[in-house]
Structure 1
Amino acid sequence: MAFQSEQDAKAYWREHLRLMFILSAIWFAVSFGCGILLADWLNQFRLGGYKLGFWFAQQGSIYTFVILIFVYARQMGRLDKKYGVSED
C-alpha cells in the first residue's frame, strides 16, 4: 500500500478510525443499549412472537454485527479507491 503523500496516509487513517468508531458505536448501542438497558421497555413489543428486548439480546445484536461487517467492507473499498490504494 503506497500513498501519494504523508498527508494522504494521515487522512486515510483518520477516515478509517472515524468509520471504526461509528460502526463500533452502532454495535454498542444495539447490543448493550437495546439488549440490556432498554430490554424491559422493548419487551412491550413483539417480533416474530418474541419480546423485542429478548430478541435484541439473543439475535438482534448478532444480525447487526454481520450487517456492520458488510458495511465496513463496502466503505473500506470506497476509501481505498478514494486514496488510490485499492487492490484492484
Structure 2
Amino acid sequence: MDQPQNNPKAYWRENLRYLILLLTLWFLVSFGAGILFKEELNAIKIGGFGLGFWFAQQGAIYVFVVLIFVYVRLMNKLDRKYGYDEEA
C-alpha cells in the first residue's frame, strides 16, 4: 500500500491545513490590501481608481471566487489520495 487509504485523521489534518492557508490568504487580500495597505496601494491606479479601493470593492471578491476553485481542486486531489473519491 503506497497510498494512505481511509485515514480520516490525516485526511482532516490536511483539509484543515488547506482551509487555514486559503482563508489566511483571503484575509490578507481583503483586510490587508483593502484596509490596512489601502493608502500605499492607492498610488497604483487601475481604470482611474486606486488599487486599494479596487481590492476593497472588487478584488477581494474575485480572489475569494478563485480560492473556491483552488479549494475544489485541492480537495479532489486529497479525496483521490485518501480513497474518498467517487470513482473508486
Could you tell me the TM-score, scaled by structure 2's length?
0.90
Name the CA distance, whole Å, in 2 between partners of 1:39 and 1:77: 35
Aligned to 1:21: 20
Partner residue in 2 for 1:12: 11
How far apart in 1 are the matches of 2:50 and 2:5?
52
Query: Which residue in the other structure is 1:71 paired with?
Result: 70
% identical equivalent positions: 58
Q: Mark the runs of 5 or more structure 1 residues left unpaired by the alignment.
A: none
CA distance in 1, matches of 2:5, 2:69: 28
Structure 2: where are the runs of 5+ without partners?
A: none
Matches within 5 A, 1:27-38: 27-38=26-37
Deviation at 1:20, TM superposition (A): 0.2
Higher relative contact order (CA 8 A, sep 6+): 2
By how many angstroms is 1:37 displaced? 0.2
Question: How many Å apart are 1:25 and its aligned residue?
Answer: 0.1
Amino acid at match of 2:23: S
Q: Secondary structure at the match of 2:23?
A: helix
